[in-house]
Amino acid sequence: MKNKKKEYSNGEITVVYQSDLCIHSGVCAKGLASVFKPGEQPWIKINAATNEEIIKQVQKCPTKALSFYINIPEKEKSEEPVAIESGLKVKVIPKGPLMIEGPITLINTNGQREIKLGDTFFCRCGKSKNKPFCDGTHRKIDFED
């Protein structure tokens, strides 16, 4: 199947749809029916909800066929760097693991994909018996950052 990538923008955010990744689970339409309307053209009504509502729903796409990005004006008034909240958050826990807020798709070393819906904790100390996941060993070995 040819990868069809379409973008839907309201000027502030752009939702990207990659049809070759979609498994038609209906998560998008069931969660935000005012925006995601399969069978209609265009099927994404980008102005039918707030940016925050759209971002939260896009993040629930199980295959990441839906993604988004924040549109940044070409010329900022300030020279300060602009932080963009993509929705996915990675937190470094002091003397502990990396916490990644789900949902995420984990691709194992054998190429197998695994969906993680909640928070996922990845080992930073290198001593976990359940790699790549944290098993709490960092506390036993007094792991330091």
| Fold type of domain 5-70 | Alpha-Beta Plaits (3.30.70)
Model confidence at 25, in pLDDT bands (50, 70, 90)? very high
**What pLDDT is recorded for position 3?**
62
How do residues 75-113 score in pLDDT, each as one tens digit?
555 555 555 555 678 899 999 999 998 778 888 888 888
| Average pLDDT estimate for 120-136 | 94
The domain segmentation of the chain, as residue ranges, is 5-70, 90-140
User: In angstroms, rounded to a whole number, what is the distance separating the alpha carbons of residues 47 and 8?
Assistant: 10
CA of residue 20 relative to chain centroid, distance? 18
In the prediction, which pLDDT does 111 show? 85
* Full-model pTM: 0.54
Q: What are the backbone dihedrals phi and psi of residue 82, each rounded to the nearest 5 degrees, phi first?
A: -100, 125
Q: Which two tokens stand for residue 65?
A: 């066929």
Q: How many CB atoms lie within 10 A of CB 9?
A: 14
Q: Which is nearest to 68 in space by CA: 53, 57, 55, 56?
A: 55
Q: How would residue 73 be classed by pLDDT, with cut points 50, 70 and 90?
A: low
